[in-house]
A = this chain, B = another copy of it.
Amino acid sequence: MQQANLNALFDPKSIAIIGASPDDQKIGGRPLSYLQKYGYEGVIYPINPKYEEMNGLKCFPDIQAVKAEIDLAIIALPKSVVLDTFKKCVDQKVRSVIIFSAGFAEIDEEGKQLQDEISRLAKQNHVSVLGPNCLGMFNVSKGVYGTFSTIIEDEKPLLSNIGFVSQSGAFGSHVFTLARQHHIGFSYFVATGNECDVDVADCIQFLAQDPGTDVIACYIEGTKDGDKLIEALKLARKNGKPVIALKVGRTNVGMKAALSHTGSLVGADEVFDTVFKQYGVYRAETIEEFLDVTYAASKLPFQKGNKVAVFTVSGGVGIMLADQLSANGLTLPETPEPVKQKLREILPIAGVQNPIDTTAQISYMPTLLEDFMDSVLSSGEFDSTVIFLGFAGLKLDSLADRITTLKAMKERYKDIPQIVVTINSKESRKMFSDAGLCVIDDPSRAVTVSKALHFFANRAEPDHEETYLPVKEDVFGSSTLLTEYGSKRILKQYAIPITEEKLARTAEEAIQFATEIGYPIVLKGMSPQILHKTDKGLVVLNLIDREAVRIEFKKLQKIIEETDGAEFEGVLVQEMLRKDSVEMVVGSKKDPIFGQIVMVGMGGIYIELLKDVSMRKAPVSTTEAEKMIQELQASAILQSYRGKPPYDVEELSHLISQFSHFIVAHEEKLLEVDLNPVMVFEKGHGIKVADGLMTLEKQVIHS
């Protein structure tokens, strides 16, 4: 996507409306009406052969008749003529196009082909296209209204520093309207429709560079280009702009609904979740959370630490806040003793311990709130404040006093986000907004906001991505599936510690290797056609002498030879590992949208049942790998526990990082890798991959 043409789309100096109408209830009439009534300062070219003049503007019969540069053309015509019209735009060197019309890929195969043709022409001629089947966009500060949505028909949208991009027009409209009701505005509103050209990633990238946008909110159902999305998210992070995403299709049921809605591949949700976490995107679960966090991030500084001071007019709500803050990883440090003393002097009946109960006296003592807040915040012990004012928002006369106090506190403690909670009326929202304050309707929602502001302050920094040299030769040969032996031989080339082992072709060889490695020994029968060795009886543990090795070798060979279609590769002679280790699983899978994903989990049946797995897009640094391990529910088991020494998390992290670079080096070839188990020994004693399996792409087109 060329930035220049995105500028033409989002900030056009001239706009042609093809299918324009003087009737502001018609699809082609609305953008014209909005542009005129909400103060667009560029040139408008209404295009409609039935008119010579429209709303005081010269009207043109077709786009060729416009003898001037056109930044943006809006196509508001029936599907049947869209392609022809678009071609004319291309001929006319129009720099960007919005297609409102529906009936394309969302309907049937014919529609899809039509859309693909538009897409092809767009890319070939470097025209930015938004749509088709889309509600359009608007840019509030420049008065650009390329939309037929009715959500702005009654009132001009409010301007703010929030850019909002939505893959669903109806969803976007709903959020916009809810925001309007809460006196929250936007810099840009974009509905991307079928995304034949401009997609949600392009919009994020644009907004990440837009000086009028500080916060980016997006509604996502899926994406075709994972790398582009990641690049956009990285840019937003680099530019210090928080991104809040509401992504649907989390469960299988939702995923199915999403497939039927979009008709296209949407990608595994858990991988989206991983990517969001990894690139600092706050994922909201509900519309309320989406809007609350977006709005708070647009008003408040990030929250540097997790120490929250709560001021409340209700002791009960204070307890509830204490519960919910601590359940969300935030803390309520004790009020420092000298501060308690001060508070008691101000109001003896106050609850001076954090959560601090101002009691209903707040209504009778005009300076109480300021005195309390100032005493507490000046201690320097707190990173954030939640101020619960009950239903003060409905008592407008006393509210003005409260707002004066809060504004003064906000200015005095600029780095401490101040989350005010009260029941609101339309009037109180406006008062808070005019004062530049952030007000939330419900205490629990304030907790979420505090958590999110802390999340943004701690967004993962870009990895220091040390890269391992990929092995140039094709290490995989022509196989599509490697045995444990084959897999581990390759891992060894990447300096990944594996069990000491050798492949024996004969019983004599096996005995010789066993002697070299040292008893007790493990034997494993190898056949590329047999994946589940244990189920087939192909693993024998704890052999202690030559004779046992000889007998078992024969048995293993026989099992394989008697299995239909199974090829006998040999018998793996392997050291017997000590028991005093924790079994982990490290693996990878290739996601169709985002590529190689690295995973770590605890081994064993319980954890498999509990799905306790941590993922990242590969590669990851050792530091990031350590974070992955810490995220596991059961990670405590690796730490010092019940007097046992801790396990070698350092070497495990190192393995995950190494392995993640390995899978990226063979991005195309590797479908799935499963190192299971990886034995983790006591700290200082390292790790060992005890078993491993790789599934490969059948055919790789080498570029």
**Complex formed: what's the CA distance from A177 to B166 in Å?**
35
**Of B171, B355, B357, B423, the contact of A316 (CB 8 Å cutoff):** B171
Contact at B174–A391, with CB atoms within 8 Å? Answer: yes
> CB of A320 within 8 A of chain B?
yes
Q: Does A253 contact B (CB under 8 A)?
A: yes
- Picked from B250, B357, B444, the residue with its CB within 8 Å of the CB of A323 is B250
B residues near A285, Cβ cutoff 8 Å? 324, 444
Q: Which residues of chain B are near A394, meaning CB under 8 Å?
A: 177, 181
Q: Is A529 among interface residues, defined by CB-CB distance under 8 A?
A: no
**A residues apposed to B, CB below 8 Å:** 107, 151, 166-168, 170-171, 173-174, 177-178, 181, 219, 221, 246, 248-254, 256-258, 260-261, 285-288, 313-320, 322-327, 331-332, 349, 351, 353, 355, 357, 360, 390-391, 394, 423, 442-445, 602, 604-607, 609-610, 633-634, 636-637, 641
| Apart from the given pairs A107-B349, A174-B423, A287-B317, 10 other A-B contacts in the complex at a CB distance below 8 Å | A173-B314, A174-B314, A174-B317, A174-B391, A177-B391, A181-B394, A248-B323, A258-B319, A286-B442, A606-B606
B170 touches A355 (CB 8 A): no
Alpha-carbon distance between A446 and B629 when the two chains are bound, in angstroms: 36
**A664 CB → nearest B CB, Å:** 31
- In the complex, what residues of B have CB within 8 A of residue A637's CB? 605-606, 609
Contact A170 B317 (CB under 8 A): yes
- Is there contact, CB below 8 Å, between B323 and A178? no
A442–B288 Cα distance when bound, in Å, is: 7
Q: A171-B314, A286-B444 are in contact. Are A357 and B261 (CB under 8 A)?
A: yes
**Chain B residues, CB < 8 A from A327:** 250-251
Q: How far is the CA of A315 from the CA of B257 in the complex (A)?
A: 8
- What residues on B are CB-neighbors of A166 within 8 Å? 316
Judge whether B325 and A253 touch: CB under 8 Å. yes
Q: Shortest CB–CB separation between residue A4 and chain B, in angstroms?
A: 31
CB distance from A108 to the nearest CB of B (A): 11
CB distance from A268 to the nearest CB of B (A): 14
The answer to whether A288 touches B444 (Cβ under 8 A) is yes
Q: A170-B316, A315-B261 known; A287 and B444 CB under 8 Å?
A: yes
Q: Are B315 and A170 in contact (CB under 8 A)?
A: yes
Closest 7 CB pairs of A and B: A254-B323, A170-B314, A171-B316, A168-B316, A286-B444, A253-B326, A248-B319
Q: Is the CB of A257 within 8 A of B318?
A: yes
**Measured CA separation A442–B291 after assembly (Å):** 12
Give the complex CA separation of A610 and B610 in angstroms.
10
In the complex, which residues of chain B have a beta carbon less than 8 angstroms from the beta carbon of A322?
251, 253-254, 256-257
Min C-beta distance of A88 to chain B, whole Å = 28
Once bound together, how far apart are the Cα atoms of A423 and B181, in whole Å?
Answer: 9
Contact A606-B607, Cβ < 8 Å, known A170-B313, A443-B287: yes
Residues of B within 8 A of A287 (CB): 317, 320, 442-444
Across the two chains, which residue of chain B brings its CB closest to A259? B319
Taking CB atoms, residues of chain B closer than 8 Å to A250 are 323, 327
Q: How far is the CA of A443 from the CA of B246 in the complex (A)?
A: 14
Instruction: Give chain B nearest CB distance to A238 CB in angstroms.
Output: 29
Taken together as a complex, chains A and B put the C-alpha atoms of A605 and B634 apart, in Å, by 10
What's the minimum C-beta distance from A380 to chain B, rounded to whole angstroms?
21
Contacting pair A221 B319 (CB below 8 A)? yes
Minimum CB–CB distance for A151 against chain B, Å = 8
The answer to whether B606 and A221 have CB atoms under 8 Å apart is no
Q: Chain B contacts of A254 at CB under 8 A?
A: 319-320, 322-324, 326
Complexed CA–CA distance, A258 and B602 (Å): 37
A-B contact pairs, 14 of them (CB 8 A): A167-B316, A168-B314, A177-B391, A246-B320, A248-B323, A253-B323, A253-B331, A253-B332, A254-B322, A257-B319, A261-B316, A287-B320, A287-B444, A609-B633
Do residues B171 and A317 form an inter-chain contact, with CB atoms below 8 A? yes
A177: B residues at CB distance < 8 A:
390-391, 394, 423
Which B residues are in CB contact (< 8 Å) with A634? 606, 609-610
Q: For the complex, what is the distance from the CA of A394 to the CA of B168, rounded to whole Å?
A: 21
Separation in Å of the A319 CB from the closest CB of chain B? 4
Bound together, the chains give a CA A319 to CA B257 distance in angstroms of 5
Whole-angstrom distance from the CB of A136 to the nearest CB of chain B? 14
Bound form: Cα–Cα A633–B636 in Å: 18
Cα(A181)–Cα(B326), bound, Å: 30
A323 / chain B contacts, CB cutoff of 8 Å: 248-251, 253-254, 257
A363 to nearest B CB, angstroms?
9
Complexed CA–CA distance, A390 and B177 (Å): 9
When distances are taken between beta carbons in the complex, the residues of chain B under 8 Å from A260 are 351, 353
Alpha-carbon gap, A253 to B246, bound state (A) = 31
A324 to B257, CA, bound (A): 12
Contact (Cβ within 8 A) A320 B606: no
Residues of B with C-beta under 8 A to A313: 170
Give the Cβ gap from A376 to chain B, nearest Cβ, in Å: 16
Q: In the complex the two chains form, is B253's CB within 8 Å of A170's CB? A: no
Residues of B within 8 A of A353 (CB): 257, 260
Contacts of A252 in B (CB 8 A): 326
A390 to B610, alpha carbons, bound, how many Å?
Answer: 37
CB distance from A256 to the nearest CB of B (A): 8
A171 CA / B355 CA spacing, docked (Å): 15
Cβ of A297 to closest chain B Cβ, rounded Å? 20
* Complex-state Cα separation, A308 to B384, whole angstroms: 41
Q: Given the complex of chains A and B, what is the CA–CA distance between A366 and B145 in angstroms?
A: 30
A636: chain B residues at CB < 8 Å are 609
Q: Tell me the complex Cα distance, A174–B318, Å.
A: 13
Among A315, A394, A607, max chain B CB count under 10 A is at A315
Instruction: Tell whether, in the assembled complex, residue A316 and residue B251 are in contact, meaning their CB atoms are under 8 Å apart.
Output: no
> Which residues does chain B contribute within 8 Å of A351, judged by CB atoms?
260-261
Q: Which of A246, A248, A323 has the most CB of B within 10 A?
A: A323
Given contacts A174-B390, A254-B320, A254-B323, contact A315 B606 (CB under 8 A): no
